Chain A
Amino acid sequence: MQVFTRNRSVPIFIGLLTLFTIGVTVMSEAYGAGLISVSFTKVLGMTLCLCLAALAMDLVWGYCGILSLGHFAFFGVGGYVIGMWLMTARTEAVVRANLEAAVIPPTQAEVSDATALQIFSVVGAEGWPWMWAASGSLFLTLLLIVLVPGALALVFGWLAFRSRVTGVYLSILTQAFTLALSLYLFQNDTGLRGNNGLSGLQNIPGADRFGQDQISVWFFWASALALGLSYVAAAWVVSGKFGSIVRGIRDDEQRVRFLGYRVEVFKLFVFTLTGILCGIAGALYYPQAGIINPDEIAPIASIYLAVWVAIGGRGRLYGAVIGAALVSLLSTYFTGGRAPDVNLGLFTIEWVDWWPVLLGLGFVLVTLFAPKGLGGLVDLLDRKKQS
């Protein structure tokens, strides 16, 4: 409980998140007044997942000083892991339904073959790739959601920190890492369906009886829960002695090393932990998005993650959440065609087209004029109170 007292933002954040969750539930179609559509519930749930990824990014960059431009790769990997299970289960159900009419019941091997055919014929492959070995088991899948991004982050981080790659070089290396992963996934013969990606992920096996309206709310709850728990965990990590060391590494790595701390171990811990958090966020995000493909892992996605954190304010956990929520919701608003066009007489600004320009210039302005991000506004409030 020390976390709640030491980090004032934790009770406030948990309180707001609870209120928000209750509010959305009350207004949802399945459990309330129906003021929020199913698709918007999903958008909100997905936004919470992005906030979780941004929170992880803030830990690794804002607190530990590692500007990783590859954290969205872990997000995507988490999505792929859950996607394999969802797609297998869903396709198998369809295949079984198709084979039901036969006089003689199908063997297990026949069902498995037909499922594999259905999933992989699009890339011209037959049979199950080795990567899908765990896709039949929910338990293994849940385990792998943590293990695969964790292992990737551990190996990459170990390689990078061991040789003391820092600063800009590390950023470029992480960017190369995510590019390599995305190029790898783009290939048809890796067994992850190339650029087709995995689809139909919104169909949750065993939940056929419930409509998407209910499922969307469940995932929203799950996302809120994951974000809330991660926030508390992150607050615990950054407060206390451990947090001081981590921030010390950010501010002067050499000095912390001279004090006798094994800097590499701390960095590796934070890097791996945040990789896992991103993986969990991805595993919750893609069942709501319904589809995942290698484009999601492209380097640009990870840069966006960093930008959200920068806009919200580095080195403060709520900053990351604010930045991610704000930018992704604004993006949805402006690119969804709901924003009214601005008529300038000679020229009409259509936001679908001009939003990226505005967003880009926004990054520049925030970087130049608000290096502390929007979270810096909170400092101003604080100062006023004190004075």
Chain B
Amino acid sequence: MPQRVHAQDDLQALLQDNAEMVADPSRRTVQEVLDILSESGLAMVPQFLSRWEAREVYQRDSDGVFVYVEDADADPLTLIDISTGAALGTATSREVTQLRPNGGVRRVISGALVQFQVAAEDPLQRATALDAIENRPDASHLPLLRARLEAETDPQLQDRLAIILPRLVITFAQDEAERIAAIQSLAGNVSLGARATLNPLLATELEVHAETPEGANIAEILTPGSGELSVDAAYQMLVDEGLAPALIPGSDRLAVLSANVVDGRVGGLPTATLDTEANRDQAYAALVAEGLAEPAPTAADIAASLAAYQFIEIYREPDQNITDAANEALGETEFNVGVFRFFDLSLDGISLASIYFLAAIGLAITFGVMGVINMAHGEFIMMGAYTGYVVQTAVSNYTLSIAIAIPLAFAVTFAAGVLMERSVIRWLYHRPLETLLATFGISIALQQIVRQIFGTQARPLTPPDWLAGSVVVNDVLAISSIRIGIFLLGVVFFLLLWGILNRTRLGLEVRAVTQNPRMAASMGINPDRINMLTFGLGSGIAGIAGVAIGLFSQVVPDMGSGYIVQSFMTVVVGGVGNVFGTLVGATMIGSLQKAIEWLNPSNTLAAQTYMILFVILFIQFRPRGIIALKGRAAGD
């Protein structure tokens, strides 16, 4: 048969042989065509199938030749040869017929396509094929994937295969040992895909049985009234199964009583006396005796019904070896998930600690070193954040605007700090508690002025793209880049301040003025100048912290008050008067808060409450903080 030989190396001829089935396929006949096409081994087949599925194949009416068109919207259409890709001339849309396989047929086609795509050169296509298999797994995919697993080189796809293949094996393989091996291969895998594969294996159904059923794969026998199954729910199950009479709810009983009131009496009792449960029971019993109401089961009835039946959770999967293996595998997974959660939590704690540290570090200088209670510290943070916002309205490149905003915020708040020190604070160094009142006044005035300028609604401070994403380790563990950025900023600040205070002339003078201003003055240091610079430095740092904080939280006029108490606590817990103490304090408070949140994840307010209570108790044992120093600040 020469034609047949010819057909095998030419797609067009092959299609022409089955022209009718190609042009007008049904779900049943299309499989036949697909088999022929796959057996042919022609290189053009996958492309044809995908375009067929996408309704991009046309048939020329004049001679029945199958073609692609270059641009479906053009008129006339440019026809392209299926086998060679060469132009075949043009035709108007009336001269060709578009093949429109229906949805069912297209699904069969895409199923057949998968076998080609799975082995395609382009990793993107292979990924698409895996998507298709994940969405509609089929027994026929099993050998395909098995073959692929060894050949796959892309590590990401390898990981996906390692989950999808076991899933198919578990679902479609007949051999128990093979299924168990597949389950075990997923043990400890924390990805959502692996967990989604294993969890359904352990799905149970709660059933009521008079006796323990033979051969059932029992997960657990529940006792009514235990944590998993309440008495009410258990009894309701019996009622639903028709094994026990329904309870009469109080509202129904009341309705029956109300309906049977005759001359102000129900069941022999005047209605006015029916304001107690006992009297109502009595009246209802009287109605039952008269046949006017359904009898209600008593507590003893309920107990007897419950005792007569067993409430059994039965696995949907009948094979106990499979469920055992799945339980074991999931146990391992849960352990790993727990480990990663712990890492996740620790990282959360560290990033929260970094935020507290940034918010408090300026205060560690003004309060810790100088002993000034600056209630306007939060407002310096707020001013920094608004500086960032203003810069962003002027400079549209986010990276550049952040780069400008950070030094600018420092300059603005440094100036504000110096102004405040010169005009107010310096008169109050002998009355530290009163700096609190004066700076509080400044704080509410500043808040209101900002409210006047910028309005009350939140202003956006958008992080640049490279800070907006997150580093994903796996489905459990992911860290947002902004938090990494803030952590790094915290580290830089710490090193910088530690360096300034311990390794520079300025730092030496600051410490000298802190410990004994008079002696420092007699040694030729100008305490006025040092106080001014120190206060400016603390305020400027608050401004930079404001830019960082504004990047992930809302920029609003009263944002500072949210950080002020926390900042003071951080400084006090850490130990007043040194930067290292603030670091320790922030780490402790931040990680503690996250740990408490972990115990009660739905409630961050409770975590904050308990954290503060802990701090209050902690002060009992270390009133001077974790790292206590001597000096002016520690002396009062």
- Asked if B431 contacts A371 (CB within 8 A), the reply is yes
Cβ–Cβ < 8 Å partners of B605 in chain A: 183-184, 186-187
Contact string against B for A residues 222-242, beta-carbon threshold 8 Å, 1 for contact and 0 otherwise: 000000000000000000000
Q: Is B441 an interface residue (CB 8 A)?
A: yes
Choose among A103, A109, A176, A356 the residue that contacts B444 (Cβ–Cβ < 8 A): A356
- Asked if B438 contacts A184 (CB within 8 A), the reply is no
Choose among A104, A109, A167, A186 the residue that contacts B274 (Cβ–Cβ < 8 A): A104
Cβ–Cβ < 8 Å partners of A184 in chain B: 605-606, 609
Contact string against A for B residues 431-450, beta-carbon threshold 8 Å, 1 for contact and 0 otherwise: 11110111011111111110
Give Cα A108–Cα B280 distance, bound, in whole angstroms: 13
Cβ–Cβ < 8 Å partners of B569 in chain A: 172, 176
Q: Name which of A165, A166, A172, A186 has the most chain B CB atoms within 10 A of its CB.
A: A172
Tell me the chain B residues, 613-630 only, with Cβ under 8 Å from chain A: 613, 615-617, 619-621, 623
- Asked if A171 contacts B373 (CB within 8 A), the reply is yes
Q: How far is the CB of A192 from chain B (nearest CB, A)?
A: 13
Known: A103-B261, A104-B274, A173-B616. A180 touches B437 (CB 8 A): no
Known: A104-B271, A184-B605. A368 touches B424 (CB 8 A): yes
Tell me the chain A residues, 179-227 only, with Cβ under 8 Å from chain B: 179-180, 183-184, 186-187, 189
Known: A163-B619, A168-B432. A179 touches B612 (CB 8 A): yes
Stretch at the interface among A45-53, A262-270, A273-281, A303-311: A303-311
Q: How far is the CB of A156 from chain B (nearest CB, A)?
A: 8
- Asked if B636 contacts A167 (CB within 8 A), the reply is yes
- Asked if B444 contacts A177 (CB within 8 A), the reply is no
Q: Is A175 an interface residue (CB 8 A)?
A: yes
- Asked if B636 contacts A159 (CB within 8 A), the reply is no
- Asked if B572 contacts A356 (CB within 8 A), the reply is no
Cβ–Cβ < 8 Å partners of A172 in chain B: 565, 568-569, 572
Q: Is A257 an interface residue (CB 8 A)?
A: no
Q: How far is the CB of A77 from chain B (nearest CB, A)?
A: 15
- Asked if B428 contacts A367 (CB within 8 A), the reply is yes
Tell me the chain A residues, 329-387 only, with Cβ under 8 Å from chain B: 353-354, 356-357, 359-364, 367-368, 371
Known: A67-B433, A371-B431. A360 touches B617 (CB 8 A): no
Q: Is A299 an interface residue (CB 8 A)?
A: yes
Q: How far is the CB of A267 from chain B (nearest CB, A)?
A: 15
- Asked if B438 contacts A171 (CB within 8 A), the reply is no
Choose among B254, B375, B432, B449 the residue that contacts A357 (Cβ–Cβ < 8 A): B449
- Asked if A356 contacts B447 (CB within 8 A), the reply is yes
Cβ–Cβ < 8 Å partners of A163 in chain B: 619-621, 623
Q: Name which of B436, B449, B606 has the most chain A CB atoms within 10 A of its CB.
A: B436
Cβ–Cβ < 8 Å partners of B609 in chain A: 180, 183-184, 187
- Asked if A367 contacts B612 (CB within 8 A), the reply is no
Q: Name which of A156, A169, A371 has the most chain B CB atoms within 10 A of its CB.
A: A169
- Asked if B447 contacts A367 (CB within 8 A), the reply is no
Chain A residue with Cβ nearest B259 = A103
Known: A189-B603, A361-B445. A367 touches B437 (CB 8 A): yes
Contact string against B for A residues 83-122, beta-carbon threshold 8 Å, 1 for contact and 0 otherwise: 0000000000000000000111111110000000000000
Q: Is A125 an interface residue (CB 8 A)?
A: no
Cβ–Cβ < 8 Å partners of A186 in chain B: 605
Q: Name which of A108, A163, A180, A189 has the most chain B CB atoms within 10 A of its CB.
A: A180
Give Cα A177–Cα B561 distance, bound, in whole angstroms: 15
Tell me the chain A residues, 281-320 only, with Cβ under 8 Å from chain B: 299-300, 303, 306-307, 310
Cβ–Cβ < 8 Å partners of A360 in chain B: 440-446, 448
Choose among A165, A303, A364 the residue that contacts B442 (Cβ–Cβ < 8 A): A364
Q: Is A255 an interface residue (CB 8 A)?
A: no
A interface SS class: helix
Q: Name which of B280, B424, B442, B448 has the most chain A CB atoms within 10 A of its CB.
A: B448
Cβ–Cβ < 8 Å partners of B424 in chain A: 364, 367-368
Cβ–Cβ < 8 Å partners of A300 in chain B: 561
How big is chain B's contact interface, by range? 35 or more
Q: How far is the CB of A241 from chain B (nearest CB, A)?
A: 26
Q: How far is the CB of B112 from chain A (nearest CB, A)?
A: 53
Q: Name which of A104, A159, A310 has the most chain B CB atoms within 10 A of its CB.
A: A104
Q: Is B266 an interface residue (CB 8 A)?
A: yes
Q: Is B226 an interface residue (CB 8 A)?
A: no
Cβ–Cβ < 8 Å partners of B271 in chain A: 103-105
Chain B residue with Cβ nearest A107 = B275
Q: Is B277 an interface residue (CB 8 A)?
A: yes
Q: Is A164 an interface residue (CB 8 A)?
A: yes
Q: How far is the CB of B147 from chain A (nearest CB, A)?
A: 55
- Asked if A159 contacts B371 (CB within 8 A), the reply is no
Chain B residue with Cβ nearest A162 = B620
- Asked if B623 contacts A169 (CB within 8 A), the reply is yes
Known: A102-B258, A356-B445, A360-B444. A167 touches B612 (CB 8 A): no
Q: Is B473 an interface residue (CB 8 A)?
A: no
Cβ–Cβ < 8 Å partners of B636 in chain A: 166-168
Q: Is B608 an interface residue (CB 8 A)?
A: yes
- Asked if A183 contacts B612 (CB within 8 A), the reply is yes
Give Cα A364–Cα B374 distance, bound, in whole angstroms: 13
Chain B residue with Cβ nearest A300 = B561
Q: Is B153 an interface residue (CB 8 A)?
A: no
Give the B-binding residues of A (Cβ under 8 A). Answer: 67, 102-109, 156, 159-160, 162-169, 171-173, 175-177, 179-180, 183-184, 186-187, 189, 299-300, 303, 306-307, 310, 353-354, 356-357, 359-364, 367-368, 371
Sorted nearest first, the 7 A-B pairs with minimum C-beta distance are: A363-B441, A360-B445, A180-B612, A356-B448, A360-B441, A367-B438, A360-B444
Give the A-binding residues of B (Cβ under 8 A). Answer: 254, 257-258, 261, 266, 271-272, 274-277, 280, 367, 371, 373, 375, 424, 427-428, 431-434, 436-438, 440-449, 451-452, 561, 564-565, 568-569, 572, 603, 605-606, 608-609, 612-613, 615-617, 619-621, 623, 636
